[in-house]
Structure 1
């Protein structure tokens, strides 16, 4: 416990320095962990700590922040990466490892492949948030990282069972995989509906967020106890709750945003520091009779992981368009080679791979060597691909500037529609009559609604809005709340109709939530 506290303090200090200097904090945390590893030689990563404590909330947070509609649009590339690429990488690394170590059982080699096959959700989200990648690329990378752990952990369990002599056939493995995935989808949808029903009736921001904070742990444990994919259940629940979040109260959203930002920062800081800290326990368990041979094997497995991704990604993106007229007709814009290159290079592994490696039974053949090879791939991808990723993006001149302009244009049009609807509601309220209604109150309300629209157009170089505003009266607050309800409904409807993106919806709802919060002060 004291060691975990020390890791947290040091990790937060390193992350704080990285944020202030503008450095990539995940990579700096990994390097700090490597440097400090010899000073805490007794600390070995507990797989249950990662799989039960760190993984569920990080997956859930990423799912809440993702867009169900965008993932639905890109379901084919996400599925090809999160399922097809994981299985392909498992086979490639398994065969490469078996060729390098013919004395190692083939099932054990495939276990290593399953361990290092999935890029890490934490690393993918951390990189995507910081680099301003195009939305399509971010959606594919985050969608892949949300679901690929389910594929990898299922393949891992099958390979471990085969290696220890439990006699699983390929038919049994396929059936186990299908049952785990299908069961996870069904259970995830059922739990998501129940939780959404409960959250709607709580009507208390603090209680709602407490329930949401416990949700990833509860649904993951429930899924694993029924032997279905806990990863899939957590992700589906998170996507469903996130999709319905715009219909929650403003206090719930404001508090939820703050809670998950703090929790993400804290958990990601510890996770990346723990990766580096595993260097000494892993190195200590090896027999260094031939260090060059070990280095060569590590390099070969690392290269296989990187090359396998490139070999899979390029044809999996372009071949469906070549073979299917329907895809060419529905997807009018072909993926650019720059975006394909970025997806091919975004294969950073993380703490889930290390947790799976440490969960290998002590009597497993070649366990220490498999731990070393896993650590080599994780560190290699984080440092090599992580350090070169920003330079690659700059070199390819890939950015989301065009999307930013499109979002601003869509937001301005949506603000116009929402303001029109809210002003119509104001006219209805005024027509009903209000005791001691002051004309200046109505004028303030009209000005407030118009100013929101003008401020949106200003981002595109349009007009300017009025400056300064008096403290609203009780009549003002009551009328404005009614108007905000209508505006929020308009924005949600436009999102559901696919006329604005979830990113635009979150941005405008954030502004509305803050305004509604100010109306509740008195």
Structure 2
């Protein structure tokens, strides 16, 4: 019962801190992690909650990864495959090497296998952290694609090195000739498994039309995919990513509109709850980490800060180096009409370099280290865990809190591409609906033609004065609600009719708010967006 009460308290605290984060403009994962840390070091008696690494990765990472991958765009990832690949492969490799060298320099007695394992633990930016923080900001779409793509794929390289390093720490010999085939087999196996399991899921659930059953099967299948990938020894994250990408392409023909709307709403709440618990629990792990350190706190802290500085510096160095190389290649190898200097700006390099937040993935892999081999020495294992915690908390606080101000200072906002594409999609879909009514002389068809013509005019007018349009639409919906309440109060309609119309108004208001946010001008003024 005590654990249940603690979880309820954490969720309530998470909701309050999220509301506070919205008010002060800070990413909510930062406040949650700081709150967990404050609880861990406070005199208040907080029951210890140990994060089982395997359970933490399955419970917290699998659904969030699937949710992020489901919304990812394969087209955008293909367009930006080079910068994404450079972060997934080169940045991870450089970070592992630099961290291992710094760790060995500071602690000469640390075995190379343990130092490389530490580098692999702290090298991949956490997909949960990136998704949670970027979702509250409005950076250029291309930067979002690069960072989300990195978050979805970087475990393929980092966790492979982690497994090899831990194996070496336990006495298993390996060479580059073994690592390369293993990397290829791991990647190809993950892609194949994700594709097969997605097809199997769609085949098994093809006849499910009930919302509750559909949502339950979605969550069960997500955890099952992760567990199967883990049992087969392939990349769990890459398997989930491929699985989600396949589902995203085929689900529109697989689910009816009611089930799809309900599923999206449930997933949005579930992902938030998992994120809130995960980041608070990250801070609470300081209890166990502090208990594990017998003494020499300053030495452990200095080691953690040194690793944190190395991680941040290496990522920034690589993003600027890549930027310079890309500019040189573009200048000397591409014709003038194909050059895109705006996408190679040093501002973009700085933002990508600063978006290196680590999170649950780093802490869980650190806590999953064995207790034998090179890690039989408790000092070595504790140093790795302390460094991992320092990198997680440090990047969340330092980079997470300053990312919004940095974007504003650099004047980097949404480039409007997604807005333009949404407008094209709505207009073309509406024109297709009008064409389907051509030649139909029924009175109902005439009414529908007028309705669709208004929708087209609505989209055209919306971009002229979006704030005015949004204010008038919300006022109209509020008037409808007042009349609806009055009708129920006067007993002219019953509760069934009230709830049906109320649901229609809820959808209209949600659509109005969403589209209003989408067309908000970057300069905050009324007028055409972009």
TM-score normalised by structure 1 residue count: 0.82
In structure 2, the residue matched to 1:452 is 455
Q: Are residues 1:250 and 2:261 paired?
A: no
CA deviation profile, 1:203-243 (whole Å, cap 9, x unmatched):
44444333222222111111121111111110111122123
Per the TM alignment, residue 246 of structure 1 is displaced from its structure 2 partner at its CA by: 3.7
- C-alpha distance in 1 between matches for 2:145 and 2:421: 19
Aligned 1:96-495 pairs, distance under 5 A: 96-247=102-253, 248-289=255-296, 291-323=297-329, 325=333, 332-333=340-341, 334-363=343-372, 364=375, 365=377, 366-400=380-414, 402-403=415-416, 406-428=417-439, 430=440, 439=443, 441-461=444-464
Q: SS of the counterpart of 1:130?
A: coil
Q: SS of the counterpart of 1:131?
A: coil
Per the TM alignment, residue 119 of structure 1 is displaced from its structure 2 partner at its CA by: 0.8
Instruction: List alignment gaps of at least 5 residues for structure 1.
Output: 432-436, 470-505, 511-522
Per the TM alignment, residue 427 of structure 1 is displaced from its structure 2 partner at its CA by: 3.0
In structure 1, the residue matched to 2:23 is 22
More displaced, 383-392 or 34-43? 34-43
More displaced, 186-195 or 60-69? 186-195
Q: SS of the counterpart of 1:427?
A: coil
Contact 2:323–2:346, Cα closer than 8 Å, also in 1: no
Per the TM alignment, residue 442 of structure 1 is displaced from its structure 2 partner at its CA by: 3.0
Per the TM alignment, residue 157 of structure 1 is displaced from its structure 2 partner at its CA by: 0.9
Question: What is the aligned length?
Answer: 461
Per the TM alignment, residue 122 of structure 1 is displaced from its structure 2 partner at its CA by: 1.1
TM-score normalised by structure 2 residue count: 0.80
In structure 2, the CA distance between the partners of 1:411 and 1:184, relative to structure 1 (3 Å rule), is closer
More displaced, 348-357 or 63-72? 63-72
In structure 2, the CA distance between the partners of 1:104 and 1:269, relative to structure 1 (3 Å rule), is same
In structure 2, the CA distance between the partners of 1:347 and 1:112, relative to structure 1 (3 Å rule), is same
In structure 2, the CA distance between the partners of 1:11 and 1:417, relative to structure 1 (3 Å rule), is closer
In structure 1, the residue matched to 2:493 is none
CA deviation profile, 1:36-82 (whole Å, cap 9, x unmatched):
11433633221022122111111001111222221121111111112
Instruction: List alignment gaps of at least 5 residues for structure 2.
Output: 481-513, 519-530
Q: CA RMSD in A?
A: 2.8
In structure 2, the CA distance between the partners of 1:427 and 1:64, relative to structure 1 (3 Å rule), is same
- C-alpha distance in 1 between matches for 2:137 and 2:428: 32
CA deviation profile, 1:76-108 (whole Å, cap 9, x unmatched):
111111222112211110111011111010110
In structure 2, the residue matched to 1:80 is 86
Per the TM alignment, residue 244 of structure 1 is displaced from its structure 2 partner at its CA by: 3.1
In structure 1, the residue matched to 2:486 is none
Per the TM alignment, residue 15 of structure 1 is displaced from its structure 2 partner at its CA by: 2.8
